[in-house]
Amino acid sequence: MSAGRPLTKVERKKFNRAEHERKIKQEMIAQHGEELGTFYAWLRVVNIRGTQAYRGGDTAFIRDVVLALQNVHSRHSG
């Protein structure tokens, strides 16, 4: 966790977010298997972060996600 000192508010927020994302991934993998669960977990985390980015006006993040989804689609659709 930390080197003998309490976490700052920013560090705690990052830690909690990472723990939440890890929990989502574990639940999805347990429910759907390794490959599909990992993909579903990625979609859920990107949805969460995308919503935050949209509210914050960060269009670059949303563009990057769209490109990543297009790459996955093109690889698996033919």
Query: With a threshold of 0.75, does the pTM exceed it?
Result: no
Which amino acid is it at 32? H
Q: What is the pLDDT of residue 76?
A: 81
C-alpha 33/C-alpha 28 separation (Å) is 7
Q: List Cβ neighbours of 62 (8 Å cut-off, separation of 6 or more).
A: 50, 53, 54
23-55 pLDDT tens trace: 999 999 999 999 999 989 988 998 898 898 889
Of the candidates 60, 29, 55, the residue with the CA atom closest to the CA atom of residue 42: 29
